[in-house]
Amino acid sequence: MTQGPGFGVGRRAVLRGAAGAAAVTALPAAAGTAPALALSGRPEARWGVQTGDVTASSGLVWVRADRPARMIVETSATESFRKVRRITGPLVGPDTDFTGRTALHGLPPGQEIHYRVLLADPDDPRRTGRPVPGTFRTAPARRSDVRFLWSGDLAGQGWGINPDRGGYRIYEHMRRLAPDFFLCSGDNIYADSPIAPSVTLPDGSIWRNVTTEEKAKVAETLAEFRGAFRYNLLDANLRRFNAEVPTVVQWDDHEVHNNWYPGQILDDARYAEKRIDVLAARSRRAFSEYFPLSTQREDGDGRVYRVLPHGPLLDVFVLDMRTYRNANSPGRRPDDTQGILGARQLEWLKRELSRSRAVWKVIASDMPLGLVVTDGPTDFEAVAQGDPGAPLGRELQIAELLRHIKHRRITGTVWLTADVHYTSAQHYEPERAAFKDFAPFWEFVSGPLNAGGFPANKLDGTFGPRQAFLKAPATANVPPGQGSQFFGEVAIAGDSGELTVRLRDEDGAVLFTKVLQPGRVGQ
């Protein structure tokens, strides 16, 4: 596979046996149902391993077993595992779809951690499956270089794992950059988008998909939502990526249904269960089972929004613009306290931004701010609603947040998102805006990972965006492999604190670069 510019071996060597030991089996030569998994004599982790919620001293390790098993994690400072520390994890079973997570504590900051997961027979602990190895780097305690990637939107519009093009190729190119972590900005699955065995393209050629029973229809039951998350782990590129790169994950609409909002009753003939709150609860449970994140917080509602510190240079503020929003509407109300974040999340974000002492404060937003995203002929799905005047509707919450950032003199905010299935860079400037009480900032968009590419959305002038870069298809639902897949990279220099954003295509080629200086307003 050709390497794009800037690639190298990186700090991580390829994990010997990681893809093979964690493999489901190689992808079939022809499209069709994914291979059946025959049970061997010992428990196996055929869906690989993952890490998440990594801090300077801790991390969370995830695995899925093929049967009831005891999860065991061994860590070491070296790949040889000559000296190991063993942590006994949970007993995994059908109540969590055989998934489990084990927290690692007392880790050294800024260090490469080698780990391996073993699954033990609960009736005979001596019977363990093959260990599945992984690595991750803990967050630094001092100023040092930081690099992470972001994107979103996986297996959308019926474009699934295509063995003809090597599956989810973008993950292999991202892995080669050896990032400290990966931010997935939502739409990790398309629960409302079935995967057919094949799709006929406009030129008459055939796109072939690996398929599963659960992905043959829209997800309604808990088993179907679990199957949608499990589907992606059939891809060897993703499993290899997960074994080497921790993930910061958020969710958006397609984890449940396109453009959903709380309380909605679906008008979709494909669904027998039309109560979106019921579907969302099932998806949230599967989401919490299939990712290594601590979903249960002190408020007890399993919230997705959180702040993740990554050393003195970076705090990542992960938003949830889906769970607490009001109904999609024309967005013209002159007062709107619920908005897209909900009042509680907005106050949390303002408070945590004020407390942050990190040089850079990345706001991971699951939807863009100034791009007009519609929901039908009259309603709007995101923040902007096409009126370039004073803030109305959901824009009022964002105006309140931006005013808070300015008046509290909070510097270093950068917004990252995906959602719209193209890549772009917008600079927001009060001199161009109808609402002027804010400090200038940048918003960067990248994606999809493996979904249809779509034409660019219009800009809304309320917050004065100017598009510095745009690459988007000219037609709708362009399949992967036709210049329609993208990811972004953020690199922070440990010495100067300089932040560089690079927007890259599927193969890793750099399309656009923007360098930002720490503590500077209006750049």
Which pLDDT band, with edges at 50, 70 and 90, does 294 fall under? confident
- pLDDT in the model for residue 489: 98
Q: Average pLDDT for residues 427-443, to the nearest whole number?
A: 98
Q: What is the mean pLDDT of residues 73-79?
A: 93
Q: How much of the chain exceeds pLDDT 70, in percent?
A: 90
pLDDT at 37: 60
Identify the weakest region by mean pLDDT among 39-43, 386-390, 436-440. Answer: 39-43
> Does 28 sit behind a cis peptide bond, omega within 30 degrees of 0 on the bond before it?
no
Residue 444 has pLDDT above 50, yes or no: yes
Would the pLDDT of 70 be above 80?
Answer: yes
Please say if the pLDDT value at position 10 is more than 50.
no
Are the C-beta atoms of 444 and 148 separated by less than 8 Å?
Answer: no
What is the amino acid identity at position 495? D
CB 157 within 8 A of CB 451: yes
Mean of pLDDT values over 296-319: 82
Q: What is the DSSP string of 64-119?
A: E-SSSEEEEEEEESSTT-SS-EEEEEEEE-GGGTTEEEEEE-SPPTT-EEEEEEEE
- Residues whose CB is less than 8 angstroms from the CB of residue 273 and which lie 6 or more positions away in sequence, other chains included: 220, 279
pLDDT at residue 119 is higher than 80 = yes
Round to whole Å and give the CA distance between 130 and 42.
Answer: 8
pLDDT over 90, % of the chain: 87
**Residue-level pLDDT at 520:** 75
For the whole prediction, is pTM greater than 0.85? yes
Give the DSSP letter of residue 2.
P
Note whether 512 and 502 are within 8 A (CB): yes
What pLDDT shows up at residue 410? Answer: 97
Top pLDDT among 293 and 364 is at 364
Q: What pLDDT was estimated at residue 32?
A: 60
Domain 146-516, what architecture? 4-Layer Sandwich (3.60)
**The pLDDT of residue 76 is above 50:** yes
DSSP code of residue 253 = G
Per CATH, the number for 18-34+41-137 is 2.60.40.380
Mean pLDDT of 455-483: 97
Is the predicted pLDDT of residue 310 greater than 50, yes or no?
Answer: yes
Q: What is the DSSP string of 308-342?
A: EE-STTEEEEE--SSTT----B----S--SSTTT-
Q: Which of helix, strand or coil describes residue 23?
A: coil
The tokens describing 128, both together, are 């363990």
The DSSP-derived string for 361-382 is EEEE-SS-SSB--EETTTEESS
Summarize the confidence of residues 378-393 as an average pLDDT. 97
Instruction: Give the integer Cα–Cα distance in Å for 213 and 231.
Output: 10
- What was the pLDDT predicted at 17? 38
28 versus 473: the higher-pLDDT residue is: 473
Cα 374 to Cα 121: distance, rounded to the nearest angstrom: 51
**CA dist., res. 368 & res. 202, Å (int):** 30
Query: Which pLDDT band, with edges at 50, 70 and 90, does 487 fall under?
Result: very high
The reply to whether domains 18-34+41-137 and 146-516 share a CATH topology is no
Burial class (CB in 10 A: 0-12, 13-18, 19+), 403: middle
Query: pLDDT category, 298, cuts 50, 70, 90?
Result: very low
The overall average pLDDT reported for the chain is 92
If pLDDT is split at 50, 70 and 90, which confidence band does 420 have?
very high
pLDDT at position 380 over 80: yes
Query: How far out from the chain centre does Cα 54 lie?
Result: 15
* Phi, psi for 121 (deg, rounded to 5): -60, 125
Q: Beta-carbon neighbour count of residue 296 at 10 Å?
A: 10
CA pair distance 483, 473, nearest whole angstrom: 8
Tokens of 43: 């428990």
501/493 Cα distance (integer angstroms): 12
Q: Enumerate the domain spans of the chain.
A: 18-34+41-137, 146-516
Does the pLDDT at position 522 exceed 90? no
Whole-number Å distance between alpha carbons of 316 and 183: 9
Give 109: exposed, middle or buried? Use CB within 10 Å, 0-12, 13-18, 19+: middle
Strand partners, 428: 441, 465
Q: Is 346 helix (H, G, I), strand (E, B) or coil?
A: helix
Range 98-110 average pLDDT? 97
The answer to whether residue 3 scores a pLDDT higher than 50 is no
Confidence grade of residue 38 (pLDDT, cut at 50, 70, 90): low
Q: How far apart are CA 499 and CA 228, in angstroms?
A: 36
Quick: pLDDT tens for 195-220: 999 999 999 999 999 999 999 999 99
User: Which of 6-15, 121-130, 509-518 has the weakest average pLDDT?
Assistant: 6-15
Report yes or no: 501 and 150 within 8 Å, Cβ to Cβ: no
Q: What is the pLDDT of residue 521?
A: 64
- Alpha-carbon distance of 89 to 155, in angstroms, equals 31
Contact between 199 and 206 (Cβ < 8 Å): yes
Q: What is the DSSP track for 188-202? A: SS-TTS---SEEE-T
444 near 425, Cβ under 8 Å? Answer: yes
